[in-house]
Structure 1
């Protein structure tokens, strides 16, 4: 009698087989294609522009120069060759906690309240494994980072729920529209389906909108989560990548009376096991390849368990040592943060100027590396196919690769994320001229 096979023909597990034939992101294959033919004003003036991957190339030269000096001038310590605490080497945790306290959070951060993992994705994966059970629901205000789906779902087995807070980007503003009424509606919907709303995940500044949360918003949301025993996690991965909202060219887009603050300040005040913060060095410090993520929590049981789950995803000791040395150099940090803000603002203004000329609505960004723009008036049809056709038409006609809104789980068609930090300002200006010409010709 033949034995019925329970695994795919490839021999992979039922979990692994689909991953072998699917892309991690809808734009990933096109990114690798475009990356082989990048624009260069001298060598390749007809080349492509990859405005879809969230890397801060504007700051890589400055960061590289500083790390080169650390490696040239410093002696790697003996502990870097040995096993260390799975939550991070104690001395480096002290240094990173001091950095967070002074620059990111502006409130006391105890070294034993933070832990390191190998990048933001690993930090998300380990955290969600600890905070929720398989099948539980992670609620995320839409639009939101596409890869959250994999980060919370592939190994932890959690379900992503995209909470629609608005439809038109023009209705959004520079602060998040999320309210506790939205959370009440999500709670009722999820409970009605027999599921458990276990985690609320916010990003501030947000990906893709660049909006932030006011102190009052965070307070109301935190109190709602604590009352409902829902874990509230705020990612501040773009916390130091801020736009100068006082710049005269963009000041009118903002509500400057509202000054956002780090979620860590509320955590320090409320002292709850249900409040957590994520950070990483990939965006603010242009160090995607160093794979350095951080979680801050006052939940001692969570941190102890995090270390046990985190062992396969520990940050290498060499990377920890380099980061520790970098964060001791306060003069460099202050110079770097100021330079980053100036460059981000310059590139952001260039994008906004082009969008205004095209009369394309956008969400005013307080920070991050993006602009969330609504090109829906250029759709030939208001549908998934219409969005796909416009996206591909932009790519093939201009060489500009954007990220379509579908991956962000936003319901409106024709909205795209523009990453403005993947190339120098002079190159970005060329891309924007191509984009303007494309849409102006389409409108005529």
Structure 2
């Protein structure tokens, strides 16, 4: 093809036939054919692109989500993305269904009642009243530091506030008059990291302390989302640690058995993750159990993460038996023990996405400084956090009020369970009760537990956290999160549950039908 194409109009040959064209014209004519061919190919390519775009949109809208439509899902999402398609918790879809039609005692008394989420909605109003003060909002936006980049581990003043708070409520809870400077002498702010929730920090810890395929030991039953927290980014594997009496906590023998089992599968055991007070049991591990577990982990050169997000929700303020790992170890965490806390439970503010980490491992903090770039807490929220955590008068009053509300709902819930003759674990902390419905199952199997959960949802419009998702070996264990709803809604839920229990005992599973299940709602 020549360089004279600019002289030729491909849309006009001025009436000349190809045979009478000179060489120059024939060259230009050849270009015109090539141009039309190129345009045609471009048009075809455009149509194919448009088809792909529509199909990607269809996938986004769920039209190809069942995998039965033509085309491979690999065209629309990566292998890593496909691994994330499964909900992190198996009952999450039922929970979302409940949220679309929630029970209201007056406007929707037959609506759904979700009792599967560990959130304390009873204390939100009290906490909100403190945050909505004009001075608090002013401070959140008045200082230039909130508008600029800063240390991804947290603003200096916020890390100081967290250190102060942890010293007063975890290390020396009996020392209410401890001054700000005295507190910072014990827990140093440079050992504090702030992240977007406890889940984010657990994920970052797994990333920094373990390699893909490494095992994380967790005493069972345990919080269902831990599986996703250590797997999604870090690629770690959870190994439940089963004990003869889970309410007491794991012994060194229990931990060793679980570790040997993991190693038999070719896994390197790297982390021990403990939640104290325990979720879902609501029990408190004795200090001797915590110390023994840490000693065992250290004998294997492992790291121990101690999650204490329910620490300030003990049903009794002092003398409840809870002792923070910070106090148990006399504030000497070393490089291998890492303490977690968050606003999500004790302050009913899971939506704030604020978690705290206390670690004395400087290399770990340097690693987290890079990871936290992607999950930092906004600076205005950090300013609010620092103001609230150092407001001693409010904090002590708020926590006393929160414990009173928790106790009242707990006693109401367990009283009704007693009336139904449903066994449960006596809780000393937390915002849930772990109940045993195994005698009501159609079979003592995971399938029987799932059948009961489905009946509970369909007939009574209630959802509770099933034990199977919490790695409980005994089918029929369910966690009831009684603080997720108001007392009047909780009463409706317990009335429905009472009627359903009565129907199952009277009719048995073989005779349960639409007629026998009437009058539950």
1:222 — aligned with what? 294
In structure 2, the residue corresponding to 1:94 is in which secondary structure?
Answer: helix
C-alpha deviation, 1:73, in angstroms: 5.0
2:121 — aligned with what? 57
- Is residue 348–residue 371 contact of structure 1 (8 Å, CA) maintained in 2? yes
Distance 1:312 1:67, change over 3 A: same
1:181 aligns with 2:253: yes
Matches within 5 A, 1:60-75: 60-69=124-133, 70-72=135-137, 74=139
- Is residue 277–residue 429 contact of structure 2 (8 Å, CA) maintained in 1? yes
In structure 2, the residue corresponding to 1:277 is in which secondary structure?
Answer: strand
1:368-415: CA deviations, max 9, x gaps?
Answer: 111111100001111222111100111111111111111111111111
1:242 — aligned with what? 314
1:201 aligns with 2:273: yes
2:211 — aligned with what? 133
- Is residue 394–residue 400 contact of structure 1 (8 Å, CA) maintained in 2? yes
- Is residue 341–residue 357 contact of structure 2 (8 Å, CA) maintained in 1? yes
Task: Tell me, in whole angstroms, the C-alpha distance in 1 between the residues paired with 2:467 and 2:333.
Answer: 37
Task: Tell me, in whole angstroms, the C-alpha distance in 2 between the residues paired with 1:73 and 1:190.
Answer: 53
Which structure has the greater CA radius of gyration?
Answer: 2
C-alpha deviation, 1:8, in angstroms: 4.0
Task: Tell me, in whole angstroms, the C-alpha distance in 2 between the residues paired with 1:323 and 1:341.
Answer: 21
Task: Tell me, in whole angstroms, the C-alpha distance in 2 between the residues paired with 1:271 and 1:387.
Answer: 41
Give the superposed CA RMSD.
1.8
C-alpha deviation, 1:63, in angstroms: 1.0
Distance 1:72 1:153, change over 3 A: closer
1:337 aligns with 2:402: no
Matches within 5 A, 1:71-220: 71-72=136-137, 74=139, 76=141, 77-106=143-172, 108-166=186-244, 172-173=246-247, 176-220=248-292
2:368 — aligned with what? 306
Say how many residue pairs are matched: 421
**Larger RCO (CA within 8 A; separation ≥ 6):** 1
Q: What are structure 1's unaligned runs of at least 5 residues?
A: 1-6, 247-255
C-alpha deviation, 1:298, in angstroms: 1.2
C-alpha deviation, 1:266, in angstroms: 3.0
Distance 1:332 1:278, change over 3 A: same
- Is residue 245–residue 366 contact of structure 1 (8 Å, CA) maintained in 2? no
- Is residue 115–residue 481 contact of structure 2 (8 Å, CA) maintained in 1? yes
Q: What are structure 2's unaligned runs of at least 5 residues?
A: 1-71, 174-185, 507-521
Task: Tell me, in whole angstroms, the C-alpha distance in 1 between the residues paired with 2:171 and 2:96.
Answer: 36
In structure 2, the residue corresponding to 1:373 is in which secondary structure?
Answer: strand
Task: Tell me, in whole angstroms, the C-alpha distance in 1 between the residues paired with 2:303 and 2:261.
Answer: 18
1:48 aligns with 2:119: no
2:509 — aligned with what? none
C-alpha deviation, 1:245, in angstroms: 9.0
Task: Tell me, in whole angstroms, the C-alpha distance in 2 between the residues paired with 1:24 and 1:300.
Answer: 31
In structure 2, the residue corresponding to 1:188 is in which secondary structure?
Answer: helix
C-alpha deviation, 1:9, in angstroms: 3.0
Aligned with 2:390 (options 328, 334, 345): 328
1:392 — aligned with what? 454
